Every structure is written in C-alpha cells, then in structure tokens.
Structure 1
Amino acid sequence: MNKELGQKIKEVRTSKGMTLKDLSEKTNLSISFLSLVERGLASIAIASLQSVAEVLGVDLAYFFSMPSKHEKMICRSYEQEAVLVEHSKNVYCSLASNFEDQKMDPMFTILLPGQQRSDIAPVTHHGEEFCYVLEGILTYMIEDKEYELYPGDSIHIPSSIPHNWANFTNKLVKVIIVVSPKIFE
C-alpha cells in the first residue's frame, strides 16, 4: 500500500475534473477499489496503474518519481488551490510552491463582477504589491484616485500606500498579483 501513489492519482484525477466514477468507467476498475488505492489502503497492479496513467494522460513513471530539490519549487496546475476570501468577490489561486523562507505570494486572481464602491475600503500592509491585468477592466484605487487598468497594464506599488482594487464591470476580471510578504499561509 502506497499513500503517496494514491495521493498522486487523486491529485491528477481531480485536476482534470474527473470523478472516481469517471475513472472507474474508463479503466474498468471499481469505484470502491480506486477509492481504496487513492487513500493508500490498497495496492494496485502495474497493469492497472498503467491503465489509470493512460486515462489521466500521464506517464507511468510519474507515479514513481521522487521530486528533486528543484522540483519542489515547481507548482503544478493540479496542485494549485483556490481560496475565496469571505465577504469578498475575489477568488485567489496560489501560483507558488511552498519552499522554506518564501518571501512573495504570486496568485492568479479572478474578481467577480458587480462590486460596489461602498464595499471597497483602502488597505495598507507591509511590503510591495504587483498586479498584471490579463482580462477585463480592473479599477485600482491609490489614496483618493482611481485608475482603470486594461489587459496588458500593470501596477507596482509599496503596500504602505492606502490602496485597493475592484471590478465595477459586469464581466470577470482576471489578474496575476504578486504580494510581498506572503498574505496567505
């Protein structure tokens, strides 16, 4: 029984939006068996694991490779976790691996439509903030001024200046933000 192997299978499966039922139907392995494998409570034969690898679109060797010191610094798409901040219309997805003494927090962020000016208050914190707009129109407030940022625009500020951002449009706004020091643990 290999808990790490099961975790890898589950991570790749969920990153592809597959349920255990989907994987079961495509591999002809039972849902209960696959669940046991993912939880590290059952062993899987190499032939069955090869079938799982093919369905998930990964090489069989992926399940046996140990990450090198440098590979721990890579954040795979299926490892990214989304965080919805309470009382916010923002979804944050960390783009960072978690190595020791990490100083910045890069995130892919989606600002949902329909924010109201009355809901946005200026904030300050230590460090710096960088934002790059991928899609939509982002309103960035610095002290008493508002700036509209369009796709391809960026802003880099000391975070000690009162600031905030918002999506006052009826479409999604997608940005890459890098904050230093880290704000999410």
Structure 2
Amino acid sequence: MNIGEKVKELRNKKGLTLKTMSEKTGLSTGFLSQFERGITTIAVEHLSHIADVLNVKINYFFDDEEKELIIRSYDQPFIRQLNKTIYKSLSRYPENKMISPKLVELLPKDDHQYPDVYTHQGEEFIYVLEGILTLIIDENIFKLYPGDSAHYLSTQKHNWDNQTNKVIKFIVVHYPSNIEIDK
C-alpha cells in the first residue's frame, strides 16, 4: 500500500470527505484525489499537515519494512545530551547490530582547553559533515574538515572536541556497538 492509499484509508475511517480534507489542509480536492490514487507525489510539509489533521505521526504512512530499515531526517531518535554534545541514533535498533552509527552535534563551548583523552575497547570511525572537528589521538592533534574521515582503534588514547564557535556535525560509528561512551 502506498502513502496516498494509506491517507485515503485513514481519511475514510475517520469519516472525512476529500472536501473536508481540502478545507483542513489547504490542498485542493483534485490534488488530494490524485495523491491518494498515486498519480502525484507530496511534499513532506504537506504530508505532515495531513498527518496532523488525521491525528497520527507522519511515520504512520511509511511501510513497516521501511520503519525497520530507514530513519528519516525528521525522525532521528535522540540518544542523549552530555555536556555540549548531542547524540542521535542513525540505526533503528542498534542493540541488535554489530556497529553503532550516530549523528553527533558538538556545540561551541566557553573554554577552549583540550579534553582529556581516554581508551575503550573496539574501533571508531568518524566522518565530518559540518564544521571543523578537532581530533586528538595519542599525542597528535588533527583538524578534520567537512568530507574528512578518520578510522582508528579505540584502544589508542583519543577524544574529539569543538575548538570553534560554530556547531560541528559528524557521524561516528563504534564497533562493537554495545560500548557505552561518555565523552
């Protein structure tokens, strides 16, 4: 069943006509009809508004298989915030997997002293998306720019830091995934 068919099914269950949906969403009845029949696609913001009108979360409309495999950018599970670091999971069920990919956002901090380095079991992979990440491995300090990556054994003394006044976004993948990291 495609997204439009799911919208139609739910709309009918709730007893709403196309005209009523049109009035509540600001979308034309013709467009809604075409969307429900799979003739046209829809922008995420319009689907989000339809979800609100139908009183469901937007992910209701996506296939169960997709729910198992795909994490949409608007639906990334928040893991935790520690100091000036925000962690979001990039894996739907990381506890069942060998690797643990996360989106990390390092916020600017007040002081620019380097953090303490530490070790743990496994490996770590980093890919910088935005900003300039400071990576400390053993006695070495590296600056990683968007598109740069690093892959190292976590048994080496290491840590990462934001030495800038802008947010840094990067992907970090830990192996094995069951390691609990408190940076």
User: For residues 28-76 of structure 1, what are the alpha-carbon distances to aligned partners after superposition, in whole Å with 9 as ceiling and x for unaligned?
Assistant: xxxxxxxxxxxxxxxx61427994885525699x7476613x6512223
**Structural RMSD (CA):** 3.4
Would you say 1:72 and 2:68 are equivalent positions?
A: yes
**Matched residues in 1 for 2:124 and 2:101: separation?**
10
Q: Cα gap change, 1:65/1:140 in structure 2, threshold over 3 Å: closer, same or farther?
A: closer
Would you say 1:85 and 2:77 are equivalent positions?
A: no
Structure 1 unaligned spans of 5+: 1-43
Output the TM-score relative to the length of structure 1. Answer: 0.62
Q: Cα gap change, 1:55/1:100 in structure 2, threshold over 3 Å: closer, same or farther?
A: closer
Find the structure with the greater CA-based Rg: 2
Output the TM-score relative to the length of structure 2. Answer: 0.62
Contact 1:131 1:156 in 2 (8 A): yes
Contact 1:113 1:170 in 2 (8 A): yes
Identity of aligned residues (%): 37
Worse-superposed segment, 45-54 or 135-144: 45-54
**Residue of structure 2 in register with 1:121 after alignment:** 116
* Alignment coverage as a number of residue pairs: 140
Contact 1:89 1:115 in 2 (8 A): no
**Matched residues in 2 for 1:48 and 1:120: separation?**
59
**Matched residues in 2 for 1:46 and 1:124: separation?**
59
Would you say 1:56 and 2:70 are equivalent positions?
A: no
Contact 2:134 2:142 in 1 (8 A): yes
Shift of 1:98: 0.5
**Residue of structure 2 in register with 1:45 after alignment:** 14
Structure 2 unaligned spans of 5+: 1-12, 26-45
